[in-house]
């Protein structure tokens, strides 16, 4: 925040809310109702609550919620917001003008996307294009860097704590937020690009996890372009390595994954950055699944040496762009289980101990790896039953689907007709 006073529209929003005796949570629910969402869940309410606080502080203009505010306050938008926001000086944290026709189009576009996701239908053509294009148009406009970077890190943490797809609403809103910055500020160009790359990449992960492959591919493309333009080598490496990792679990062609991994390694040029360990882990996993034990072991040995040389800023960051020991042990558990290496059980136990309480996805996946190990040791019934329980208790992400497919491929011939195996095929053949 700067020392400048809040814009009048921010003060007016807070004053109108308080005059009605509404708290931010009640206001959030009324805003959702104004756009046709009558029963938002608590995560949605909390997300919008944070946005309301930012609106009232004058950090970001509520371009995509302007008409909703006007509706709940029973006012005209021009009376609620006035014209003063168009006169804000460059370099402040007041991020957007009064919504115009283009803003209305983007607001409707966002609602189209959210409605399609809620209904479980395909995203309409052009919807995601419009959302992501806002990043490309205004990547070099001024931004409260610390706050936006904190938001990216928060998403990186929550993506492992909440059900797949649950962050899409918030990510779309924040991508619009970056897109609605008022003035271009060349001094913060790299900051805009880094934040946009992070948000777009996280959106790509969420879209991929719910099976929206086309949308994920578009978001990854935007993330790569923003990372490249930022000049941040670590981010360029991370974006490609993470895309390769997600593509591996989604089942993309091996040559495509190998090419993206090689690209990340070439850009890194041996530098100890957070994205490089992902590239090595993907290379090891590809080799292990193809039965190339020697290549898999060499890649894991390279990964271990690389990890020992990573700076604390990378290994101490458990979310988003870092590479913690928990991630290392997770990948060791998977690769060593696939190739029957005796180090698998120790790595699996260590990984489970290292993840913080409440971590959903990675720990559920470790349970599937444990089930895979049971099957490798001949305990078919236990392994199949454990996998079935996990898939029934938590959404089936591409990673869990991929690992379950590996389990089914590795079953002995006599076990493939078992009812538990048939049930796993049914579970993993359905849409995420």
**Residues whose CB falls within 8 Å of the CB of residue 348, separated by 6 or more in sequence, listed in order:** 329, 333, 337, 366, 369, 370, 373
**302-310: long-range pairs with CB below 8 Å, 24+:** 303/277, 303/328, 303/331, 304/328, 306/272, 306/276, 306/277, 306/280, 307/277, 309/272, 310/272, 310/274, 310/277
Return the minimum-mean-pLDDT range out of 18-22, 185-189, 217-221: 185-189
pLDDT of residue 172: 77
Mean pLDDT across 179-205: 74
Encode pLDDT of 253-275 as tens digits. Answer: 888 899 999 999 999 998 888 89
Residues 286, 338: one domain? yes
Residues 2, 94: one domain? yes
pLDDT of residue 118: 54
pLDDT of residue 148: 75
d(CA 343, CA 300): 12
d(CA 346, CA 285): 18
Residues 328, 369: one domain? no
Tell whether the model's pLDDT for residue 123 goes beyond 80: no
Q: What is the mean pLDDT of the chain?
A: 81
Q: Is residue 83 part of a domain?
A: yes
pLDDT of residue 94: 33
Q: Is residue 145 part of a domain?
A: no
pLDDT of residue 89: 33
Encode pLDDT of 293-343 as tens digits. Answer: 999 999 999 999 999 998 888 887 766 688 889 999 999 999 999 999 999
pLDDT of residue 153: 84
Residues 1, 95: one domain? yes
Tell whether the model's pLDDT for residue 186 goes beyond 80: no
CATH of the domain at 71: 1.10.260
d(CA 299, CA 91): 47
d(CA 239, CA 278): 10
d(CA 12, CA 63): 15
Which of 73, 99, 125 terminates a domain? The answer is: 99
Q: Which two tokens stand for residue 121?
A: 């239908």
Q: Which two tokens stand for residue 174?
A: 């924040």
Domain region containing 92: 1-99
- Number of structural domains found in the chain: 3
Q: Is residue 311 part of a domain?
A: yes
Q: Is the torsion defined by CA of 20, 24, 25, 31 positive or negative?
A: positive
Distances, alpha carbon 235 to alpha carbons 151, 322, 425, in Å: 17, 11, 37
Q: Is residue 81 part of a domain?
A: yes
d(CA 171, CA 194): 15
In our burial notation (b when 16+ CB lie closer than 10 A, e otherwise), range 302-336 reads ebeebbeebeeebbebbbbbbbbebbbbbbbbbbb
Q: Is residue 210 part of a domain?
A: no
d(CA 155, CA 276): 21
Residues 375, 295: one domain? no
Q: Is residue 149 part of a domain?
A: no
Residues 322, 362: one domain? no
Residues 82, 5: one domain? yes
Q: Is residue 45 part of a domain?
A: yes
Tell whether the model's pLDDT for residue 119 goes beyond 70: no
DSSP 8-class letter at 248: H
Compute the C-alpha angle 320/140/242, nearest 5°: 25
* Token pair 């029973």 in the structure block, residue: 74
**Residues whose CB falls within 8 Å of the CB of residue 136, separated by 6 or more in sequence, listed in order:** 222, 225, 226
Return the minimum-mean-pLDDT range out of 87-96, 167-176, 405-414: 87-96
pLDDT of residue 86: 40
Which of 99, 129, 156 terminates a domain? The answer is: 99
Band of pLDDT at residue 397, cut at 50, 70 and 90: confident
Encode pLDDT of 216-242 as tens digits. Answer: 999 999 999 989 988 999 999 999 999
Encode pLDDT of 134-168 as tens digits. Answer: 555 544 444 467 777 888 888 887 887 777 788 88
Mean pLDDT across 14-35: 85
d(CA 252, CA 286): 11
Residues 315, 341: one domain? yes
pLDDT of residue 84: 45
**Residues whose CB falls within 8 Å of the CB of residue 159, separated by 6 or more in sequence, listed in order:** 167, 202, 205, 206, 361
Which of 311, 346, 381 terminates a domain? The answer is: 346
Q: Is residue 278 part of a domain?
A: yes
Residues 18, 90: one domain? yes
Tell whether the model's pLDDT for residue 128 goes beyond 70: no
Encode pLDDT of 335-392 as tens digits. Answer: 999 999 999 999 999 999 998 887 788 899 999 999 999 999 999 999 999 999 998 8
Residues 322, 380: one domain? no
């Amino acid at each position: 925040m700067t020392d400048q006073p809040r814009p009048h529209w921010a003060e007016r929003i807070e004053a109108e809310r308080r005059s009605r005796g509404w708290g931010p949570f009640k206001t959030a629910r009324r805003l959702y109702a104004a756009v046709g969402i009558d029963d938002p869940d608590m995560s949605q309410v909390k997300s919008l609550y944070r946005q309301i606080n930012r609106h009232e502080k004058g950090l970001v203009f509520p371009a995509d919620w302007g008409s909703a505010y006007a509706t709940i306050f029973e006012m005209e938008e021009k009376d609620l917001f006035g014209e003063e926001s168009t006169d804000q000086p460059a370099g402040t944290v007041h991020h957007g003008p009064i919504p115009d026709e283009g803003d209305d189009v983007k607001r409707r576009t966002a609602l189209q996307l959210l409605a399609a996701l809620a209904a479980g239908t395909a995203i309409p053509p052009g919807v995601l294009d419009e959302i992501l294009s806002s990043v490309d148009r205004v990547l070099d406009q001024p931004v409260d860097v610390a706050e936006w970077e904190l938001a990216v890190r928060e998403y990186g943490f929550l993506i492992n704590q909440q059900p797949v797809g649950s962050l899409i609403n918030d990510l779309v809103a924040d991508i619009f937020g970056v897109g609605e910055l008022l003035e271009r500020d060349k001094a913060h160009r790299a900051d805009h690009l880094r934040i946009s790359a992070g948000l777009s990449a996280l959106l790509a992960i969420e879209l991929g996890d719910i099976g929206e492959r086309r949308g994920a591919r578009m978001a990854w493309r935007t993330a790569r372009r923003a990372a490249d333009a930022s000049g941040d080598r670590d981010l360029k490496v991370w974006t490609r390595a993470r895309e390769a990792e997600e593509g591996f679990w989604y089942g993309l062609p091996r040559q495509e994954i190998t090419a993206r991994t090689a690209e990340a390694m070439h850009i890194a040029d041996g530098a100890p950055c957070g994205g490089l360990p992902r590239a090595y882990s993907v290379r090891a996993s590809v080799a292990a699944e193809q039965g190339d034990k020697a290549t898999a072991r060499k890649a894991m040995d390279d990964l271990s040496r690389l990890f020992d040389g990573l700076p604390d800023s990378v290994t101490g960051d458990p979310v988003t762009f870092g590479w913690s020991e928990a991630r290392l042990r997770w990948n060791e558990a998977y690769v060593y289980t696939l190739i029957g290496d005796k180090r698998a059980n120790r790595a699996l136990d260590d990984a489970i101990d290292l993840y913080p309480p409440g971590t959903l996805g990675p720990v559920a996946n470790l349970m599937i790896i444990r089930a895979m190990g049971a099957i490798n040791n001949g305990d078919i019934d236990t392994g199949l039953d454990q996998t079935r329980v996990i898939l029934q208790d938590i959404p089936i992400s591409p990673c869990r689907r991929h690992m379950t497919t590996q389990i089914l491929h590795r079953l002995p011939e006599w076990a493939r007709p078992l009812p538990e195996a048939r049930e796993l095929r049914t579970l993993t053949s359905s849409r995420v």
